Structure 1
Amino acid sequence: MAAPSSIQSRVIYLEDGWGEIKGKAIDELEKLLNTGFEKKTTKLFGPRQYVDIYTTCYNMCTQRSPYNWSEHLYQRHGEVISAYLTGTVVPALRNKHGEFLLKELVRRWSNHKIMNDWMMKFFMYLDRYYVKHHNLPTLSEAGLKHFKTLVYDVVKGNAVRAMLDVINSEREGAVIDRPLLGACVDLFESMGMGTLEAYTADFEEAMLDNTREYYARKSQQWVEGDSTPDYLIKAEAALDCERARVGHYLNAATEPKLLRVCDREMLEKHQTELLEKEGSGCRVLLANDKSEDLSRMFRLFSRIPQGLQPMANIVREHITAAGNDVIVRREERIEGGEKDSNQDPTVVKELLALHDKYMAVVTEQFGGNSLLQKALKDAFVEFVNRDVGKFKNADLMSNFCDRILKTGGERLSEGEVEEYLGKVVQLFSYLTDKDLFAEMYRQQLAKRLLNQRSASDDAERLMIGKLKLKCGSQFTSKMEGMMNDLAIGVDHAAEFETHYKGRAPELGLKSDFNVQVLTTGYWPSYKPLDVALPADMQKCMQVFKDYYDQKHNKRRLAWMHSLGNVSVKATYPKGKTYDLQVTTLQACALMVFSTETEMLPLDAVTQRLNVPEEVCKRILHSLSCGKFKVLSREGEGATIKNTDKFGFNLKFTCPMRKIRIPMASLEESHNPKRVEEDRTIAIEAAIVRIMKARKALGHQQLVAEVLSQLSFFRPNPKVIKRRIEALIEREYLERDPDTPNTYRYLA
């Protein structure tokens, strides 16, 4: 508003000017407020009327002293507001209670804002100069302070109680006047003069205490009368209502405090009782696959501090019990007389199904929460490493992989094979003896590859890739080397075939043959047998040796006859012929009997084959005691004895023309001694690495760091101590002379 343009010609005395302002503006304003008016359409003062009042005030404030009435007008501004509040507003509120008090308070607060606004406009010139010059509260601030002191402080206690009663009635399902509560909250916010101090201290704290009492009472009723799922449904609905309540009429800053009170009263105080409630607790929900109830339980208990830990403990215990049941059932079958075998896919399939089930629960119902994932992992680590019988679970898993990867095993599609392999690798990740699994898997991979029993090279590489992703390239380097050997071997075989093709008669060869050259470092170690080969086989070996020596003059060939395969054509009386698919050792034994018409004792066969007696027994057992008895045997029982005799079975018949005769492996499924040697090397390497970096370290710290670095197995601390002693003897380390429990690295 600009200053009036006309020049004041006379002095305005205080009472004269005030009388004019009061009569034209203040009395009229109070009358309108008392009688009521339509706020949206009624204009209290027109422009001309307002300008006249403002001009009077302006002139009274710009007169020279002693006729400058700024101070008096500022004082009377406050007196007018105070008088109206004490004389009109407070009496109107004094005898009202409950919702009637709130409605009257809101009406009077709304009127006061109108009055305060017009009074500020009438005396605006005071704000511009007098208030600023004397550092006083602005007219608007002064008006609010008068309302706070004279009205708000008098009625706030009753108003808060009335508001809480209305809120509680809404909690019980009643329909309330939400805009009314919103207006009350606006009043409390305004009384903070730009802060939420009044709202927080006068209303929010009381409201939170009331909420605490309400839900303490309600939750006790629910927990005594409802099942855990029903209780959680009610708790979640209550939380949604409280959250909506903030949106409808409370300040947004109240939401986290309000929900924290609800969480504490409904969830935190009753958590143990709810989780362990008989007949409906967490264990029962898990056992009965109540996915929706489990999701709700996770959502609610994730709201409270450390709320998921007790739940995770129950989940871990439940999964552990389910996994132990699988292991116990295997133990009971063995004790009941079932053969203890590493070919037991039932256990692995049950463990995979268990993992699928609870991984889905953790992922879908528990949102993949890290604490619940750890509970799942801890449970599986516990029972996957619980071995029963003479075969470890690592052996069962490796043999399960062998079944699905070799021909004649499980009949699965490519997609099913890939799915199973992924699941087995996940189960494998819980093993502490990962190196033991690797040794067994490598042995079986070698058999599949060398015996041409692998169903798919792609599946083999897929499995190796999954293991590599889980454990690193060091874990799978030898397996990859084996696959590469065979890939390169195809080219070698083609080159050799080109070399001797067409020269077989010249070289005196009567048989077709090929040789697979393997790299010693990649493949399992096999015990060489100096078996007496038939002349034709020896000639084939010599031809290849001459070729290979000429091509690689610095490499040495070591022949592993126990790994070879031979196709032997057997002709029987009446012209019956069969193609016998046998090992090299079986073929040599058959050649021994091909020219003999009499039965030969065991020692004679052993001498002619030039193999150990135990090996000879296995060969003869496969040919005379298996499904296809191509040799006849004189002897009793299922076990070969030294007194048994053997001969060619001329009465042998079979509906199939091509027959594969299996033979028991001469090698163990894994070499325990080799595994222990590898572990010793790994432990010592870890100790040296750590000490080289740290220079000096205490015993306990060194053991702890070694355990943290060894990811493929978990050795006993006593074993680590023995390796430390061995390194001290070999002068890699020494004991600190001043602190015996501390080691120092010797460069």
Structure 2
Amino acid sequence: MNSPKIIALDEGWNNEIKAKAIDVLEEMLNNGFDRKSQRLFAPKEYVQTYTTCYNMCTQRSPYNWSEQLYQRHGETICQYLTQTVLPALRHQRADFLLVELTKRWANHKIMNRWMQKFFMYLDRYYVKHHSLPTLDVAGLKHFKTLVYNEVKKDAVAAMIALVDAERDGAIVDRGLVKNCVELLEAMGMGSLDAYVSDLEDQLLASTKEYYKKKSQEWVESDDTPTYLEKAETALDAEKARVQNYLNAATEPKLLRVCELEILELRETVLLEKDGSGCRALLANDKADDLSRMYRLFGRVPNGLPPMAALVRAHIEGMGNDIINRREQRLTDKDTNQDPGFVKELLSLHDKYLAVVQDQFAGNSLFQKALKEAFVAFVNRDVGKYTNAELMSSFCDRILKSGGEKLSDEDVETYLEKTVQLFSYLTDKDLFAEIYRNQLAKRLLNQRSASDDAERMFIGKLKLRCGSQFTGKMEGMLNDLAIGVDHQSDFDAQHKLGIDFSVQVLTTGYWPTFSAIDAHLPPEIVQCTRVFKEYYDAKNSKRRLSWMYSLGNAVVKATFQKTYDLQVSTLQAIVLLAFNDDMAYDQVRQRVNLPEEHVKRVLHSLSCGKYKVIAKTPASSTIKNTDTFKVNASFSCPMRKIRIPMASLDESHNPKRVEEDRTVAIEAAVVRIMKARKTLSHQQLLAEVLSQLAFFRPNPKVIKRRIEALIDREYLERDPEVQNSYRYLA
């Protein structure tokens, strides 16, 4: 059996590998070939070269040429790069350098791949056994050392010049830049180190300088909306630039540099620019420009707070303008009815709530700005009546019959908007007290337009403030619902000969009304006696107290013809007391009403639109020396006449509001101290303020309530710690 022929190193290298493979490969790379197929060698040719290498690497020592072939593989590549590639690159500049570099890099990848195929057996055994760089990695390292390091400075400068040219509107070969980027990525040998250190860092620095100059030009020549349009276009272009030919990891860094130069460093100037800054855009309702401003400054760290501050200042200024206009309209006859003022506030809130939702995407910073602005001016009272009272009276106007002529949908819309405005009041308890008094008058005088609307509004308040806030209002409505059953039962058992109805109210739910011990006409005395007997039989443990100031009656009056006078119970008592001429004092003694009540009743009957009582001397005021008689000459085209009278009760009782606040403060203090046992004065103060949702008391008032609780031995001062309290169980 013949032994395999031993292949000498030079023989195998020169006659087979170099002559039939390497020289052919170099010639094709230099002279050109079909790059689409990139199939430079037929399988038979490739296998022949591979077999020669395999045989030379598997011969027994000393004829195993693995080490020598690995060395000659590297020398071949280095020689080609030094003698062919570098001379082709050294005299190229700018774009031409990049074109030649990408061409030579593409050739090198082909050469490296085929050299790896020819010497594949080295990779499988020799490289692994000796822990050497693989043939592919060795080829890349040679290119990096001999070619890339030589030309990278000029190449990167040319790439950045192309990027800047594209920024200025020139059309550049993006594919060329992309190929160069891929070269830089490959030079990292599996990492982006070369790309970052050689290109990205310089690109970011040049970008910074480019936009520093551009932004200065824009800010000097353009208004804020135009500047922001250019800024948005530039940022979109930079993002597209990364997608077109840069590494994706560059995007956040590149955009951050642009945002810093274009937006962050220019923000104050842009926001406050005269005639086109944030407040000007708000004043001129520039929705698209505001949206763009929000989007752009939202990209900048802490970019939105300065914008939100300007939004708040603008809204607060608009609100204060409305308050100032009301102040200028005030006269000595100021009333608690100013629906135009409340509608202006509602319209302002609608407008800027929509701006916050639509232009500022409901961002919490702008919601807070809106809230703080409205809290600032909604709680700024001018004139005799507080804004809380004006808002409550606005609701009263909507909810009572004969008020605003609105559809059910409009009523619900207005009530919802008013609740939103109400949420900004610091003295919510004051609103509740006023609203409860007005609700009582609507319900008791049958002036409520819709029970459903009443319940809906109370439900909206309950949703905002909880059941504790609306409990008494709900109780008032329930009293009326129960009263219908009472009345039906009473009517079924008693036939009085006149239409007599009673509404039983639960004391704790309704506002406090002053009881009047009037001298009643016999007809009313008989009716009240019968109802009292009926009610006592039904509820032996309850006591009835009659509130004549809240009732109403229909009195049949005959002058030249017969009229039905719709009056209050007190007006009816006074009318039924007349049978001849009477002086003021006689009227007062006969009806036994307080002087203030008598004067208001007589004024309504003798000085109003319908003068059913004649006064001597004729004047618009009631004096103790006046005399009165039935006006025999009274006539009116209507048969049913409603005679209004000025209210005898205040819209709310300030003293009661203060009493309720006192109780709420003390309850909060005790609740907190019971849970915490010991607390410093400042901590207790802060916690009490945080718990009181319906009003904001003065810290001095809280301090007085703490002193009162110490006197009543709920708390004590800590003897060991200054300005600290302890709970006494």
Fold match by TM threshold 0.5: yes
Structure 1: 4+ residue segments shifted above 3 A:
none
Preserved contact between residue 116 and residue 143 of structure 1 (Cα < 8 Å): yes
1:715 aligns with 2:697: yes
How far did residue 636 of structure 1 move? Answer: 5.2
Which residue is equivalent to 1:704? 686
1:269 aligns with 2:270: no
Partner deviation per Cα, 1:681-725 (whole Å, 9 max, x = no partner): 111111111111111111111101111111100001111111111
State how 1:110-149 maps to structure 2 within 5 Å: 110-149=106-145
Which residue is equivalent to 1:582? 567
Which residue is equivalent to 2:721? 739
Residue 263 of structure 2 aligns to a residue whose secondary structure is helix
Partner deviation per Cα, 1:652-709 (whole Å, 9 max, x = no partner): 1112111111111211100101100110111111111111111111111110111111
Distance 1:696 1:367 in 2: 45
How far did residue 41 of structure 1 move? Answer: 2.8
1:550 aligns with 2:545: no
Residue 269 of structure 1 aligns to a residue whose secondary structure is helix
**Residues 8 and 481 (structure 1), Cα distance of their counterparts in 2 relative to 1, 3 Å cut:** farther
Which residue is equivalent to 2:610? 628
State how 1:296-307 maps to structure 2 within 5 Å: 296-307=292-303
Which residue is equivalent to 1:725? 707
1:511 aligns with 2:498: yes
Partner deviation per Cα, 1:515-550 (whole Å, 9 max, x = no partner): 111111111111111111111111111111111111
Which residue is equivalent to 1:88? 84
**Residues 7 and 410 (structure 1), Cα distance of their counterparts in 2 relative to 1, 3 Å cut:** farther
Which residue is equivalent to 2:472? 478
How far did residue 352 of structure 1 move? Answer: 0.8
Which residue is equivalent to 2:392? 398
Which residue is equivalent to 2:250? 254
1:371 aligns with 2:365: yes
Letter aligned with residue 696 of structure 2: R
TM-score, normalised to structure 1's length? 0.96
**Residues 368 and 8 (structure 1), Cα distance of their counterparts in 2 relative to 1, 3 Å cut:** farther
Preserved contact between residue 669 and residue 706 of structure 2 (Cα < 8 Å): yes
Residue 553 of structure 2 aligns to a residue whose secondary structure is strand
Give the one of 396, 405, 425 matched to 1:411: 405
Distance 1:714 1:42 in 2: 83
Distance 2:621 2:195 in 1: 94
Number of equivalent positions:
728
Which residue is equivalent to 1:34? 30
Letter aligned with residue 9 of structure 1: P
State how 1:330-345 maps to structure 2 within 5 Å: 330-334=326-330, 337=331, 339-345=333-339
Preserved contact between residue 188 and residue 199 of structure 1 (Cα < 8 Å): yes
Give the one of 274, 278, 283 matched to 1:278: 274
1:12 aligns with 2:7: yes
Structure 1 residues 131-140 or 444-453, which shifts more?
A: 131-140
Letter aligned with residue 150 of structure 2: V
TM-score, normalised to structure 2's length? 0.98
Distance 2:94 2:725 in 1: 80
Residue 511 of structure 1 aligns to a residue whose secondary structure is coil
How far did residue 42 of structure 1 move? Answer: 4.5
Partner deviation per Cα, 1:455-513 (whole Å, 9 max, x = no partner): 1111111111111111111111111111111111112222222222xxx2xxxx33111
Preserved contact between residue 8 and residue 59 of structure 1 (Cα < 8 Å): no
Distance 2:629 2:153 in 1: 112
Partner deviation per Cα, 1:398-417 (whole Å, 9 max, x = no partner): 00000011011111111111
Partner deviation per Cα, 1:156-181 (whole Å, 9 max, x = no partner): 11111101111111111111111111
Distance 1:689 1:82 in 2: 86
Which residue is equivalent to 2:588? 606
Structure 2: stretches of 5+ with no match in the other structure:
none
Which residue is equivalent to 2:17? 21
Which residue is equivalent to 2:439? 445
Distance 1:514 1:214 in 2: 87
Which residue is equivalent to 2:284? 288
Which residue is equivalent to 2:345? 351
Partner deviation per Cα, 1:540-586 (whole Å, 9 max, x = no partner): 1111111111111111111111111111111113xx11111111111
1:422 aligns with 2:407: no
Distance 1:531 1:134 in 2: 120
State how 1:160-171 maps to structure 2 within 5 Å: 160-171=156-167
Letter aligned with residue 19 of structure 2: G
**Residues 210 and 561 (structure 1), Cα distance of their counterparts in 2 relative to 1, 3 Å cut:** same
Distance 2:308 2:618 in 1: 60
Which residue is equivalent to 1:563? 550
Preserved contact between residue 309 and residue 371 of structure 1 (Cα < 8 Å): yes
Preserved contact between residue 207 and residue 257 of structure 2 (Cα < 8 Å): yes
Residue 627 of structure 1 aligns to a residue whose secondary structure is coil
1:685 aligns with 2:667: yes
Distance 1:519 1:326 in 2: 41
Residue 443 of structure 1 aligns to a residue whose secondary structure is helix
Give the one of 201, 208, 211 matched to 2:204: 208
Residue 190 of structure 2 aligns to a residue whose secondary structure is coil
Which residue is equivalent to 2:461? 467
Distance 1:518 1:559 in 2: 10
Which residue is equivalent to 1:432? 426
Distance 1:537 1:722 in 2: 49
Distance 1:655 1:184 in 2: 100
Preserved contact between residue 224 and residue 277 of structure 2 (Cα < 8 Å): yes
Distance 2:618 2:132 in 1: 121
Give the one of 143, 149, 156 matched to 2:152: 156
Which residue is equivalent to 1:645? 627
Q: Percent identity over the alignment?
A: 69
Letter aligned with residue 247 of structure 2: N
Distance 2:139 2:647 in 1: 101
How far did residue 154 of structure 1 move? Answer: 1.1
Preserved contact between residue 635 and residue 641 of structure 1 (Cα < 8 Å): no
Distance 1:696 1:75 in 2: 85
How far did residue 39 of structure 1 move? Answer: 1.0
Preserved contact between residue 607 and residue 619 of structure 2 (Cα < 8 Å): no
